[in-house]
Chain A
Amino acid sequence: QTVVTQEPSLTVSPGGTVTLTCASSTGAVTSGYYPNWFQQKPGQAPRALIYSTINKHSWTPARFSGSLLGGKAALTLSGVQPEDEAEYYCLLYYGGAQLIFGGGTKLTVL
């Protein structure tokens, strides 16, 4: 059974930079997994941030960026704002209809 792993929790200071990662139990994550990233705040539906590794939606703040880093998909927040405190999920595509979410990273801004 394929597992997608994210850091359970991270803490960052306001104005700082933080990188969240997304690993696959099948091996290195490449652009062919088309990583998507989503943000979810308590009591709200998820919101799409990044698709196909690096692409932003029209509503995605400029401080969010996606990349591949050391065999993982990565989401970097630069100049973190208090409102960025949330749970972040990655989603990887494994072909056909198979998509798997990571377990989520709880980001605390402190």
Chain B
Amino acid sequence: EVQLVQSGAEVKKPGESLKISCNGSGYSFTTYWIGWVRQMPGKGLEWMGIIYPGDSDTRYSPSFQGQVTISADKSISTAYLQWSSLKASDTAMYYCVRRTTVTTFDYWGQGTLVTVSS
């Protein structure tokens, strides 16, 4: 069974760093891209970027380029989303999603809630 399991909720202060994770199981992790999606409170979905764990090829949406870093550790079938200096506006639910072809998305993680507040 394909599963994407994300790390737990986080509460951070502005300026702190953070790395959240998405662990894939039930399939060959290195041969499918993993994307990240933001959902701010009460708002819609926003595409952030994507990584190919096989070679760590990473692409960012222009809106998120330079704001976050996407990475992966194929040895433990895990993709990451990280911030070096959080802002209150980073408060959101973050989802990972598997891409099977360039244009097909299927399985989603359960989401990680990030709260940034002083």
Contacts and interface: CB of A to CB of B under 8 A. Distances in A.
Which size class do A's interface residues fall under? Answer: 20 to 34
Contacts of B102: 34, 93
Interface residues of B, number: 24
Contacts of A74: none
A91 B105 contact: yes
B46 interface: yes
B103 A52 contact: yes
Interface of B is mostly: strand
B103 A97 contact: no
Interface in B33-52: 35, 37, 44-47, 49-50
Given A46-B108, A98-B61, A93 B103 contact: yes
Contacts of B80: none
Interface string A29-45: 00000101010100001
Interface of A is mostly: strand
Given A97-B59, A97-B61, A99-B61, A89 B45 contact: yes
22 contacts: A34-B103, A38-B105, A45-B95, A45-B108, A45-B110, A45-B111, A46-B45, A46-B97, A48-B106, A48-B108, A51-B103, A51-B104, A57-B106, A91-B47, A96-B59, A97-B61, A98-B62, A99-B35, A99-B61, A101-B44, A102-B44, A104-B45
Minimum-distance CB pairs A-B, first 7: A97-B59, A34-B103, A51-B104, A101-B45, A104-B44, A99-B47, A45-B108
